[in-house]
Amino acid sequence: MWMVKLFCYSLSCANLHCWSEQHLTFYNNMLDINKNIFVSFPASRTASLRSKRLVGGTLAPQVPWQAMVYIAENILDGGYAGGALISDRWVLTAGRNLFVRKNREDIQGQEPVIPKVYLGIIKKAYATPSNEVAVKKVVLHPGFQNQSDWDNDLALIQLKEPVVVNDKVTPIPLPERGQDLANAVRGLGIISGWGWGPLLTPAPFLKHIVVPLANPSECKAEYESLALTPTVDENMICTTATKFEENVCFGDAGGALAVTDSETGDVYAAGILSYDKSCTRYKHAVYMKISSYLPWIHSVMRGDTDTSAAVRFKAMSTMYSWQQ
């Protein structure tokens, strides 16, 4: 996550804890705002989204659905990316996170890398074998990069064993069919990750920012004339930088955009971050809209294949014919 207008909270930046005065004020304000946002909702629904102040000016909220997806150190983002635990056996992430080289031309014909996955950690140093969860398989969306680098940028990671759900490891629900993003509390979402910070290095701690949901037409207009950027369509959603110019950056891809429904109080994952190169260069971050992909996600999690779908169709057709 990208921060700007640095100052040092100590006499020296040798310890790398350099932050923005506005940034610290912003988070103090957001703590109060978050309390007001969730005050009317049951504690069980809201505890997982409450921000927490951390040591040394570094943010380390408990984001229990956050997964760390790791493939290699020899790439731009350090090989670390995000993911969202959506059940006790499945992690949803960006498809590009499973390839060392991300461009469509380089990926075509290549098999995705089986990543290492870590859950329940807020510090990269905790990405140890004791916190690693074994991966059974990965499933790319069948339309992944079918026309551009950003098309259908989703992948599901199946874990070998169900995880133990606790206060540090808890899945985030998917949206309900027909759930309207326009009902998001205050038009805000929360995104977390280990992406690049102001020192042009991946963050050692998990960070989060509260970002405004963006007007789709403004987001599309920003990128439509720029090469190597998404062609924003109805299967994507966007957020914009905060008023202090904080934004996502390299290494944040795959994280879930969490929102709260103002009518029901439900916390759910509205999007999976795809375009994480906004940093301070561009205003908008682009996500895959999860509601557009619910049929695919559910079919993969059920273990559906073309054969099983055909078997079900045949069985139903036969039973209908017998009833007539």
Classify residue 2: in a domain, yes or no. Answer: no
Burial label for 173, CB within 10 Å (0-12, 13-18, 19+), is: middle
Regarding whether 195 and 152 lie in a shared domain, the answer is no
Specify the pLDDT at position 215: 92
pLDDT, residue 175, reads 96
Judge if 160 and 176 occupy the same domain: no
* pLDDT beyond 60 at 21: no
Together in a domain, 177 and 287: yes
User: 108: which residues sit within 8 A by CB, 6+ positions away?
Assistant: 145
pLDDT of residue 159 exceeding 50:
yes
* Domain assignment of residue 213, yes or no: yes
Express as a percent the part of the chain with pLDDT over 70: 73
Same domain membership, residue 97 and residue 223: no
Domain count, the chain: 2
Bridge pairing between strands 236-240 and 7-8: unpaired
33 and 165 in a common domain: no
For the record, the structure tokens of 98 come out as 């499973």
Does a structural domain hold residue 3? Answer: no
Under 8 Å CB-to-CB from 149, ≥6 apart: which residues?
A: 96, 102, 103, 104, 228, 230
Q: Say what the pLDDT of residue 161 is.
A: 97
Which run of H or E residues covers position 62? none
- The size of the chain, in residues, is 324
Write down the mean pLDDT value for the chain: 78
Structure tokens at 71: 């493939």
- Whether 152 maps to a domain, the answer reads yes
Q: Examine the domain organization and report whether 146 and 127 are in the same domain.
A: yes
- Average pLDDT, integer, range 144-151: 75
Question: Is 87 domain-assigned?
Answer: yes
Same-domain status, 209 and 274: yes
Give pLDDT, residue 47: 36
Same domain, 185 and 38: yes
Assess whether 105 and 211 both reside in one domain.
no
The answer to whether residue 239 sits within a structural domain is: yes
Both 154 and 255 in one domain: the answer is no
**CATH at residue 127:** 2.40.10.10
148 pLDDT higher than 80: no
**pLDDT tens sequence across 212-260:** 999 999 989 988 877 777 788 999 999 999 888 888 988 899 999 999 9
Both 199 and 245 in one domain: the answer is yes
pLDDT tens profile 27-75 = 334 334 444 433 333 444 333 333 322 222 235 458 999 999 998 765 6
Range of the domain at 83: 66-170+295-302
Tell me which amino acid residue 324 is. Answer: Q
Task: Collect all residues with Cβ–Cβ distance below 8 Å to 172 and sequence separation of at least 6.
Answer: 48, 65, 84, 85, 86, 256, 258, 267, 268, 269
For residues 271 and 179, state if they share a domain. Answer: yes
320 within some domain: no
